[in-house]
Structure 1
Amino acid sequence: MTITPDDFPIRKIATIVEEIRHDGGPPATVPRRRAAALVLVKNPFAGAYHAELQPAMDALKPLGLEMTKRLIAALGGIDGVDGYGKGSLVGSAGELEHGALWHVPGGYAMRDALGEALAIVPSSKKVGGMGASLDIPIGHKDAAYVRSHFDSMEVSFPDGPKPDEILFALVMTCGPRVQNRMGGLEAENISVRDGQR
């Protein structure tokens, strides 16, 4: 079975930007920004088991690039972008593994666009019905142990995913949680450059 980008037609795409000024404490000197790009696509694998799925990751690479460009534009460029995450919500006629198709197209598109993004892109996936929400985990782009950037962003479409659709999402952030005070490695002290510390 040959899979191309045309096998994942887009029904709806959206970009959301949040500016977080405080979280119950003093206002942040610089507000934290979070942005998500969401897309609903047809799931060509819905309704049947398919043993071979991996080639479809290549077909989704252009979508990953398009969504990454949308996120960067929404945040005003890559300056200040220091966190990211990704996720997928598979409609009920699909299976969890269909959400895993997003690992390469979503994650590598963001890492490539941001330059030396060394840390793994946190990820979530689940199967759900229309209107279900998805929590996208977020971590620092250069080091996994930067506690100030551990976060999540909840995303959803009220009318999707339909049973034969998948919601793919990418998230980028600028800055730490506005009231972070849990210690650990600070972003300015990243030194090992191994994606961890």
Structure 2
Amino acid sequence: MNVRKIVTYVDEVLTEGGRPVAPPARTAVVVAVIDNPWAGQGFVEDLAPGIDATASDLGRLLAPRVVAALGVPVEAYGKAAIVGLDGEIEHGSALIHTLKFGDHFRKAAEATTLLPAVEKRAGAGTVFDVPLKHITDATIRSHHQSIEVRVADAPHAHEIVIGLAAAGQGRPQSRLAPLSTEQ
């Protein structure tokens, strides 16, 4: 795995709807810009060797970084894969939709739910939204949120941007009734 760069974003909301948010709502994202392990090979039928060589190392690299950047216990989380124009969306999906990748984050966040994800093919500087959901109960609506991310110089055509996002709370000033009130 060749990592060109790691980018960390921390977002802290202090006011929402004209009211203070106390404590501030924190969200963190850590992305790694890596060489696409299948770049230049044409159509690759069996992605397993690339998954085995890359996915677990990526999860091990990113999970502790995003938890540390957040600086508070993780309550919501998500993941992303943005594939450069010479790759396939399946290349990003292959790396993030495996327990070899996701279990590192689940363990670090003490989570049990599936990680929501975004994946797409795009050029450098594309904006993407990482969806987040609660770490143990995906039906908790206050934690359904997203964070916008952009890496100005990535992905190059032969790269993939792989990211993890974490929030220490639900949406600031959330007021929706629990899902159970509608069932």
TM-score in same-fold range (> 0.5):
yes
Provide the rounded CA distance (Å) in 1 between the counterparts of 2:105 and 2:64. 9
Identity in percent = 38
Asked if the contact 1:80/1:174 (under 8 Å) is kept, the reply is: yes
Change (3 A) 1:67 1:75: same
Moved over 4 A (4+): none
User: Structure 1 residues 118, 185: CA separation in 2 closer, same or farther (over 3 Å shift)?
Assistant: farther
* Maintained 8 Å contact 2:30/2:164: yes
Counterpart CA distance in 2 for 1:57 and 1:182 is 39
Query: What TM-score, normalized to structure 1?
Result: 0.84
2:102 to 107, 114, 117: 107
Residue aligning to 1:28 = 21
- What runs of 5+ residues in structure 1 fail to find an aligned partner? 1-7, 187-197
Matched, 1:65 2:68: no
Aligned residue in 1 for 2:138: 144
Which structure features the higher share of strand residues? 2
RMSD (Å), alpha carbons: 1.5
Secondary structure (helix, strand or coil) at the match of 2:132 reads strand
SS of the residue aligned with 1:166? strand
Q: Does 1:133 align with 2:131?
A: no
Q: How does 1:29-178 map to 2 (within 5 A)?
A: 29-47=22-40, 48-59=42-53, 60-76=55-71, 80-100=73-93, 101-104=95-98, 105-115=100-110, 117-178=111-172
List per-residue Cα deviations over 1:64-104 (Å, max 9, x = no partner). 1111111122123xx52111000100000000100112122
1:185 shift after superposition:
4.9
1:21 is paired with a residue of what secondary structure? Answer: strand
For 2:8 and 2:29, the matched residues in 1 are separated by 6
Between 38-47 and 127-136, the greater mean CA deviation after superposition? 38-47
- 1:89–1:167 Cα contact (<8 Å) kept: yes
How far 1:151 sits from its partner (Å)? 0.6
CA distance in 1, matches of 2:44, 2:90: 10
Normalising by structure 2, report the TM-score. 0.90
Q: How many residues align?
A: 176
